[in-house]
């Protein structure tokens, strides 16, 4: 059982694939899947994307730096929504951001991370890295290192990392284990190179799972052999 876990989810995990906005059902699913982990005393951090609000390619006429700033604001909107869902079920939750403070969003400080976990709060890291040109995968890698996580779990809609898209290619095969060097060499798209590089530098293990299969998250936290593991 891992003691500290960073969970990276997409914005679509809050809306459903191809949808926009928020789904009460999807948000409740997130909380329900994490409750068994929280009850076991695991310190949980979450980084969420903003694909349910908009994607950068939808603003192709806007400069990348400005589009990315809008994306960072989108992650904060999602963070506030998740926080409210957790608290509606009696689970303490805090949002920490490197760049923006609101009534429900606090400044990201290392001692604040530790204090939150000591108070048995779920910590949502909103606002991305605080800088444009970086994805929320990179933000997840940074926050996993900063919170001294034992593992970074990437929640996807497939049961691990494949050689190619299994929905398009019949000959795609699943990797059970990979090194960071292999993931970068094969140009696997499940996470960006910056995220892989940070995790490699700090020996941060990554587990890629099918998040939408009930209890997979708990199994990953318990160290069971599911999904794909990427490590040094």
Average pLDDT, the chain: 94
- Residue 107, classed as helix, strand or coil, is strand
- Residue 129, classed as helix, strand or coil, is coil
CATH of domain 4-231: 3.40.1160.10
- Residue 95, classed as helix, strand or coil, is strand
**Do 102 and 129 meet the contact criterion of CB atoms below 8 Å apart?**
no
Band of residue 56 on the pLDDT scale cut at 50, 70, 90: low
Question: Which of the pair, 223 or 16, is modelled with greater confidence?
Answer: 223
* Residue 107 token pair: 């400044």
Domain extents for the chain?
Answer: 4-231
Task: Give the integer Cα–Cα distance in Å for 83 and 10.
Answer: 16
The number of residues in the chain equals 232
**Do 170 and 156 meet the contact criterion of CB atoms below 8 Å apart?**
no
pLDDT tens column, 89-105: 999 999 999 988 899 99
pLDDT tens column, 130-176: 999 999 999 999 999 999 999 999 999 999 999 988 888 888 999 99
């Amino acid at each position: 059982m891992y003691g500290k876990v960073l969970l990276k989810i997409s914005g679509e995990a809050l809306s459903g694939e191809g949808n926009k906005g928020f789904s009460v059902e999807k948000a409740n699913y997130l909380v329900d899947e994490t409750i068994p982990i929280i009850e076991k005393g695991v310190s949980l951090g979450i980084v969420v994307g903003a694909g349910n609000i908009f994607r950068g390619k939808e603003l192709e006429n806007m400069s990348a730096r400005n589009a990315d700033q809008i994306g960072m604001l989108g992650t904060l909107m999602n963070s506030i929504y998740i926080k409210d869902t957790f608290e509606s079920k009696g689970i303490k939750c805090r949002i920490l951001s490197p760049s923006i403070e609101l009534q429900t969003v606090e400044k990201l400080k290392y001692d604040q991370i530790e204090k939150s976990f000591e108070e048995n709060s779920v910590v949502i890291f909103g606002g991305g890295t605080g800088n444009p040109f970086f994805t929320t995968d990179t933000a997840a890698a940074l926050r996993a290192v900063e919170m001294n996580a034992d593992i970074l779990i990437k929640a996807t809609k497939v049961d691990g990392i494949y050689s190619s898209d299994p929905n398009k290619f019949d000959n795609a095969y699943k990797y059970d284990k990979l090194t960071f060097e292999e993931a970068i060499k094969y140009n696997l798209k499940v996470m960006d190179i910056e995220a892989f590089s940070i995790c490699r530098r700090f020996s941060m293990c990554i587990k890629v799972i099918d998040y939408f299969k009930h209890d997979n998250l708990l199994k990953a936290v318990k160290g069971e052999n599911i999904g794909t593991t990427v490590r040094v």
